[in-house]
């Protein structure tokens, strides 16, 4: 999303018109189901082979609206908690694979976040396949996926990713795995925070739905791998922790209804 900085540690941030429209429409709901509205998405930045029309166009529109909503929630939460400014992520859509500086210029598949450039990248082919697996819960699932990727950008804005990078210096394999898992679980928790904040628009999230979403996600990753389309583990946001621990983290955020429900992981803030 387009961002204009005007000085200060975090800078002044101007949300793209879509994000503002989502906030203005925050009271909309329909029978407990996510209300996407009739917002027209901005021109998408594309990479790789063009995605199929129709279904993937709808997937992109829904993902963008949910992502903008999540960013608006993070902006308000940061302002209320500290007075700092939130700089929105850049949003990119692609199909099957795209090159990214976070992979040394190599190609990556699957939805992922690149902290190096502040870019949230969504693989429309991946999302369409995931949506098919989710069936009638497709809209809810895609909204939560958008929020989950957005949560990684929030972690960057909160300084979590920088703190983790410092802890990783000289760390052994076990320590590195623990830090990565802790970050992922905090991201799941933050996704729960958004789901609670967006409840009027999103509708209630079934108690075990996050675990089901993780299971479906991992099946899509396996299916793509069998077809030669690899999602590198370091870019797979749902790769490390168990389904049960992820479910617990999501529900923690969902019940807490605020960023305080998802404190900095002990693996990152604890002294070595």
DSSP per residue, 123-168: EHHHHHHHHHHHGGGHHHHHHHHHHHHHHHHHHHHTTHHHHHHHHH
C-alpha dihedral sign at 88, 255, 189, 216: negative
Residue 231 lies in a domain: yes
Query: What is the tens place of the pLDDT at every residue in 143-193?
Result: 999 999 999 999 999 999 999 999 888 889 899 999 999 999 999 999 999
Minimum mean pLDDT among 138-142, 209-213, 233-237: which range?
A: 233-237
What does DSSP say about strands 112-114 and 119-123: parallel, antiparallel, or unpaired? Answer: antiparallel
pLDDT at 58 (0 to 100): 86
Confidence label for 271 from pLDDT (cuts 50, 70 and 90): low
Whole-model pTM: value is: 0.80
Query: What is the tens place of the pLDDT at every residue in 204-232?
Result: 999 999 999 999 999 999 998 888 888 88
Its domain, for residue 62, covers: 17-269
Residue 5 lies in a domain: no
Residue 168 phi/psi, 5-degree rounding, is -80, -15
**Spatial separation of the C-alpha atoms in residues 32 and 162, rounded to whole Å:** 38
Residue 30 lies in a domain: yes
**Spatial separation of the C-alpha atoms in residues 89 and 150, rounded to whole Å:** 8
Residue 262 lies in a domain: yes
**Spatial separation of the C-alpha atoms in residues 239 and 10, rounded to whole Å:** 31
Residue 7 lies in a domain: no
What is the number of structural domains in the chain?
A: 1
Residue 164 lies in a domain: yes
Counting Cα atoms < 13 Å in the Cβ hemisphere of 35 gives 16
Distances (CA, A) of 177 to 108, 143, 152, 174: 21, 28, 17, 5
Residue 3 lies in a domain: no
Residue 241 lies in a domain: yes
């Amino acid at each position: 999303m387009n961002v204009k900085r005007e000085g200060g540690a975090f800078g002044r941030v101007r949300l793209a018109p879509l994000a503002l429209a989502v906030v203005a429409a925050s009271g909309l709901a329909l029978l407990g189901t996510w209300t996407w509205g009739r917002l027209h998405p901005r021109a998408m930045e594309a990479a790789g082979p063009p995605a199929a029309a129709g279904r993937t166009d709808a997937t992109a529109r829904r993902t963008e609206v949910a992502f903008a909503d999540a960013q608006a929630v993070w902006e308000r939460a940061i302002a209320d908690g500290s007075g700092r400014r939130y700089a929105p992520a850049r949003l990119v859509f692609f199909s099957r694979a795209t090159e990214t500086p976070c992979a040394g210029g190599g190609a990556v598949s699957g939805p992922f976040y690149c902290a190096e450039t502040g870019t949230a990248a969504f693989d429309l082919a991946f999302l369409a396949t995931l949506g098919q697996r989710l069936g009638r819960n497709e809209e809810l699932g895609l909204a939560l996926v958008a929020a989950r990727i957005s949560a990684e950008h929030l972690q960057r804005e909160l300084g979590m990713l920088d703190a983790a990078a410092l802890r990783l210096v000289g760390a052994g394999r076990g320590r590195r795995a623990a830090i990565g898992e802790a970050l992922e679980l905090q991201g799941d928790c933050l996704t729960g925070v958004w789901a609670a904040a967006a409840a009027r628009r999103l509708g209630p999230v079934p108690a075990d739905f996050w675990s089901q979403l993780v299971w479906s996600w991992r099946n899509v990753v396996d299916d793509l791998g069998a077809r030669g389309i690899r999602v590198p583990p370091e870019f797979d946001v749902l790769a490390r922790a168990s389904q049960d621990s992820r479910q617990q983290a999501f529900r923690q955020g969902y019940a807490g209804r605020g960023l305080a429900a998802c404190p900095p992981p002990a693996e990152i803030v604890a002294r070595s």
